[in-house]
Structure 1
C-alpha cells in the first residue's frame, strides 16, 4: 500500500499541445525496420486518457455516486465499463477514473500501436486509477491483455502539483491490487515496486530523481536481452515496454534519456501542453546505447 501522508488532488490536466515545442522527431510514422538501427530496448510512453473530473467538473462524484452508492452506480454511462468496487467511494474524488469515452480512446490507441507493428512484452503503470484503466484498455486494443500490469508508484505525477486537503495518515487513495483483480484487471501481484512511499513534500527536482531511478532500473532489467540461434549465433532481442503515467511522464523520460539539463519551470510548461493519450517511443541503439525518439 502506498503511504501518502497528505491527501492529494490529482490535478494534472493540461490544455493544449504543440507537437514540436520540445521534442525532436527523428523519423516519420513509418515503422519500417529496414533502415533503422538495431534497437535492444523500446519504451512506449503514454499519458492516461480523459479524466472524468476534468471532463465533467468537480461535481462528477455527486452526479455518479451522490444519490446512492449501490452497485448500479458503478455501471453509470460516464464511467468505464469495469470499475473496482470500493467500500469508501469518496476515495474516487482523490483518485478519479477516466471516462467511458476515454476508455474507448485508449482501446483505439492500442489498435493504432498494433498497426505500427509494435508489440508489448511488459507493462508498467502509475497506480492512479486513470492510468491503470488506460493501460488495460491499450493492451486490449493491442490484443495483449495477457500482459500483466505492474503498478509502480514512482510513475505517479509530481507531488508538488497536488493540493493537500486533509490528513490521509497511512491510508492510500489508490486501489489495491486485490481490488483491481476482483474487477477483472490483469495486475501483476508478484511485482515489487521500487518503493511504496512518495514524499508528499517533494519538488519537481525530487520527481526527476525518482523518475531517473525508475528509468535506470528499466534499462538494467530489460536492456541487452539476447536471442540465441543455432551454432552459437545470437542477436539482441528488442524488449518492448509500455509505460502509462501522467502529463509529466513523456517529457521527464525524454529529458532523462537525452541527458538534458532539468529546469523545473520549463518542465512545467512542457507538461502543460501534453494532451490525453499523448505517446512517444524511445528506442535505444543496441550498439551505441544512444536513445532516439519518435512520435506516434
Structure 2
C-alpha cells in the first residue's frame, strides 16, 4: 500500500471505530502460471482444448475448477493454485478472528479472483454470502495485452458455469457493464474503479444515514471486494481522496503480495473514509 495512505489513520478514530460501512479489499491468491511458468497449460491440461475430466484433478489445481469446453481460455484466465486456495481460506479465518465478517461480496470476473473469494468466504464461515461478479473490478486492460488476441471472445466464465460447479454466484446482481475498452489505460481504469466505488457506497451506505456525535451506528455493513494488486491501491486512493497518479499505481501494485488486504472504514459521523489498522 502507498505509504501516504497510512497517514489517513486518525488516532481518535482508531480508539472509537464508529464506522457504518467497511470495505475489505483483497488481492487474489497465487496464480498457477506464476508458479509453474508460461507452459503451465501444457503441464496441467496436456495442451488439449477439450481436456478430459481427470485433467481437472491435477494436484495443483483448485479443488473445484469449472470445466470449460475450450480449456485454452484458461491461458487468458489462469486460476489460482490449490495452495493459494488453502491460503485464501486461512485469510478468511484470520479476518474472522478480528471480527471482519462479510455481509456482501464483490469479485472481479477473473477465475483467480472468484476462487479466492469463495475460499475466503469459506474461511469466514460465510459461504452463504453470494458472490457478485463485477467486470469493472478487473485490473487495467493495458496490463493484459494477451486479451487483445481474443478480439470479441470473452475469456471469463458465465455465472451459470460457476454455479454448475457449486460456486454461490449472485444471479440477481446487475453488473455495471459487461464491456471494458480493450485499449483502456490506467486513467480509464481509475474512471471505472471510481464508478464501482461510488455505486457500492451509494447502494450500501445509504442504508446507514449519518449519525450525530455520541450516537452509535444503527447498522454496520462489511463488504468483501476481491480483485487484483491494483484493486488495493486504487480503492485506497479513491476512498482517501488521494490524487491519482498512473505511474504510482504501476509502481505500488508491483509491490502488492498475494492476498494482501486493505481495510477501509467510513466514519458514521462524517462519512469520511479511513484505513483500519488491522494487523493482517
Fold equivalence (TM over 0.5): yes
Q: Which residue of 2 aligns with 1:43?
A: 23
Is the alpha carbon distance of 1:56 and 1:112 closer, same or farther for their aligned partners in structure 2, counting shifts above 3 Å?
same
CA distance in 1, matches of 2:216, 2:246: 43
CA distance in 2, matches of 1:133, 1:216: 25
1:119–1:240 CA contact under 8 A, matched in 2:
yes
2:142–2:182 CA contact under 8 A, matched in 1:
yes
Q: How does 1:229-268 map to 2 (within 5 A)?
A: 235-268=217-250
Q: CA deviation at 1:37?
A: 3.5
Aligned residues: 269
Q: Which residue of 2 aligns with 1:269?
A: 251
Q: Which residue of 2 aligns with 1:58?
A: 38
Q: Which residue of 2 aligns with 1:5?
A: none
CA distance in 2, matches of 1:262, 1:75: 43
CA distance in 1, matches of 2:173, 2:147: 31
Question: C-alpha offsets along residues 225-246 of structure 1, whole Å, 9 cap, x if unaligned?
Answer: 249xxxxx99431110000000
Question: C-alpha offsets along residues 36-61 of structure 1, whole Å, 9 cap, x if unaligned?
Answer: 24211000000000000011101110
Q: CA deviation at 1:269?
A: 0.5
Q: How does 1:20-99 map to 2 (within 5 A)?
A: 21-24=3-6, 26=9, 35-66=15-46, 69-99=51-81
Q: Which residue of 2 aligns with 1:101?
A: 83
1:124–1:149 CA contact under 8 A, matched in 2:
yes
Q: 1:182 aligns with which of 157, 164, 174?
A: 164
Q: CA deviation at 1:277?
A: 0.2
Q: 1:204 aligns with which of 160, 164, 186?
A: 186
Matched, 1:279 2:261: yes
Q: 1:221 aligns with which of 197, 203, 207?
A: 203
Question: C-alpha offsets along residues 137-156 of structure 1, whole Å, 9 cap, x if unaligned?
Answer: 00000000000000000000
Is the alpha carbon distance of 1:112 and 1:161 closer, same or farther for their aligned partners in structure 2, counting shifts above 3 Å?
same
CA distance in 2, matches of 1:189, 1:20: 35
Is the alpha carbon distance of 1:239 and 1:165 closer, same or farther for their aligned partners in structure 2, counting shifts above 3 Å?
closer
Q: Which residue of 2 aligns with 1:137?
A: 119
Q: CA deviation at 1:164?
A: 3.5
1:224–1:237 CA contact under 8 A, matched in 2:
no
Question: C-alpha offsets along residues 100-133 of structure 1, whole Å, 9 cap, x if unaligned?
Answer: 0000000000000000011211000000000000
Alpha-carbon RMSD across the aligned residues, in angstroms, is: 2.1
CA distance in 2, matches of 1:281, 1:73: 37
The structure with the largest helix share of the pair is: 2
- Consecutive unaligned residues of structure 1, counting only runs of 5 or more, are 1-18, 228-232
Q: Which residue of 1 aligns with 2:154?
A: 172
- Consecutive unaligned residues of structure 2, counting only runs of 5 or more, are 210-214
2:113–2:228 CA contact under 8 A, matched in 1:
yes
Kindly report structure 1 stretches of 4+ aligned residues shifted beyond 4 Å. none
CA distance in 2, matches of 1:260, 1:235: 26
Residue 225 of structure 2 aligns to a residue in which SS?
A: strand
Residue 243 of structure 2 aligns to a residue in which SS?
A: coil
CA distance in 2, matches of 1:119, 1:96: 27
CA distance in 2, matches of 1:149, 1:57: 29
Is the alpha carbon distance of 1:261 and 1:54 closer, same or farther for their aligned partners in structure 2, counting shifts above 3 Å?
same
